Amino acid sequence: MGKTVNKTVNIALTMGDPAGIGPEIIVRILADNRWRNRAEFTVYGAPEIIEFNRRKFAPQIELKVCETTALQMNDIQPGIASAQGGKAAYDTITRATLDALDGKVDAVVTAPMNKLAVNLAGIPFTGHTERIAELCGVKDFAMMQSAGDLRVAFVTTHIPLAEVPQACTGERIAVVAKLLHQACRQENIANPKLAAAAINPHAGENGWMGREDEEVVKPVLEKLRSQNICIDGPFPPDTMFIESVRRKYDGILSMYHDQGHIPFKMLAFDRGVNSTLGLPIIRTSPDHGTAYEIAYQGKADLGSMSAAIELAVIRAEHRRKQQGE
């Protein structure tokens, strides 16, 4: 007999940069209460800043808050990057990640941070993904962007274009393909079907436009197929995202940042979700930035953050179900 499964999952929502739209969109979304029978939420951050936004945008709701910083409203200026705000955001994701590792929450949804603000605080910082992976002690991880049935995982991300061919090793491609396959299964797709983009235009034209696809990509895809991972390609990148192609697949493997980010954001900018694959915890985030120019004005679109929360809830429910079996 399996274990008794708690029907509601516990989700940590980090406030992100306190001068950005993060605190605002969190309280506005929670006012909807659409997950009331599926999840409980704890907002991680500065209590005074979260309370300020609650009173302004959703005074009718009550929030559970985990204090990660004593930052006050008079310590920041909405819409302006600052060292104080960057340090507070950094401390907040650190605490939420550690709580997830300790099993205190089932997933973490991170509101947007500003890299400049964190670096102004004297903390070397390249992004949420890298910091959370560091805390988790994980080296094999990957970024995935998703919106409904559209899922794109990246072999490389924040590196110069000139370094992409050397970074797209067979080993790295295999790691990300397996992480993408696993992510699809965590969304209740029993037999995921994947597609891989080529590194070169026209998939290298059989080697006449670059040898990487012939010598690296094709052999590793063949090896993955022998390991019962269904993956087609490599496809010419310029046709990967047309509807007749992308709708055949549950996930797309992109070789570098702009190859996947540009088409994805054209198709799903207002509802895209960024998640980190390969972690021992569940982490998602909206696919947009701090939007300083509209912070604290009630203008921020809620679609991407709502989608990030929904995906975190789905994955947490899936994990909870597996643990109860």
Q: What is the pTM of this model?
A: 0.87
- Whether residue 95 sits in one domain with residue 82: yes
- Whether residue 1 sits in one domain with residue 133: yes
- Whether residue 266 sits in one domain with residue 246: yes
- Whether residue 179 sits in one domain with residue 130: no
Count of structural domains, the chain: 2
- Whether residue 145 sits in one domain with residue 247: yes
- Whether residue 183 sits in one domain with residue 84: no
- Whether residue 199 sits in one domain with residue 311: no
pLDDT of 182 reads 93
282, 100 Cβ separation under 8 angstroms: yes
pLDDT of 6 reads 57
Expressed as residue numbers, the domain containing 310 is 1-138+279-325
Given a cut of 50, the residues of the chain with pLDDT beneath it are: 1-5, 325
Residue among 109, 267, 273 at smallest CA distance from 183: 273
pLDDT of 1 reads 39
Pairing label, strands 283-286, 107-110: parallel
pLDDT of 270 reads 81
pLDDT of 321 reads 83
pLDDT of 137 reads 95
239: domain CATH number is 3.40.718.10
List strand residue ranges (DSSP E) for the chain, in order: 9-14, 39-45, 65-67, 107-110, 142-147, 150-154, 193-197, 230-235, 251-254, 273-277, 283-286
Residue among 46, 2, 56, 77 at smallest CA distance from 321: 2
